[in-house]
Amino acid sequence: MFPISYRDLEPMLQDRGVEIAHITLFRWVQAYAPEIDKRIRPHLRPSNGSWRVDETYVRVRGRWMYLYRAVDSRGQTIDLLLSVKRDAEAAKRFFRKASRQPHTVNPRTITVDKNPAYACAIEQLKDDGELWRFSHLRQCKILNNIVEQDNRRARRIVKPGLGFGSFHTARRTPAGYEVMAMVRKGQLRKIGGRDMRAQTSSVTELFQVAA
Q: Residue 209: what pLDDT?
A: 61
Mean pLDDT by 10 residues, the chain (211 residues): 88 94 94 93 95 94 94 95 96 96 95 94 95 93 87 88 90 93 92 88 79 45
Q: Measured on CA atoms in the order 48, 51, 57, 60, is the torsion positive or negative?
A: positive
Q: Give kind and range of the element (H or E) at residue 68.
A: strand 63-72
Q: Which alpha helices (H) appear in the chain, and where do they start and end?
A: 6-14, 22-40, 88-99, 116-127, 145-158, 167-184, 196-207
CA 86 to chain centroid, in Å, comes to: 17
pLDDT of residue 211: 45
List, in order, residues 6 or more apart from 163 with CB less than 8 Å away: 58, 59, 60, 61, 62
Asked if 69 and 103 count as a contact pair (C-beta separation under 8 A), the reply is no
By CB atoms closer than 10 A (0-12, 13-18, 19+), residue 171 is buried
Whole-model pTM: value is 0.90
Domains of the chain: 6-43+167-207 (no CATH), 50-151 (3.30.420.10)
Residues facing residue 112 across a β-bridge: 139
Please name the residues in contact with 32: beta carbons below 8 A apart, sequence gap of 6 or more.
176
Alpha-carbon distance of 211 to 201, in angstroms, equals 6
Q: What's the full length of the chain, in residues?
A: 211
* Cβ-proximal residues to 36 (8 Å cutoff; 6+ apart), any chain: 176, 179, 180, 203, 206, 207
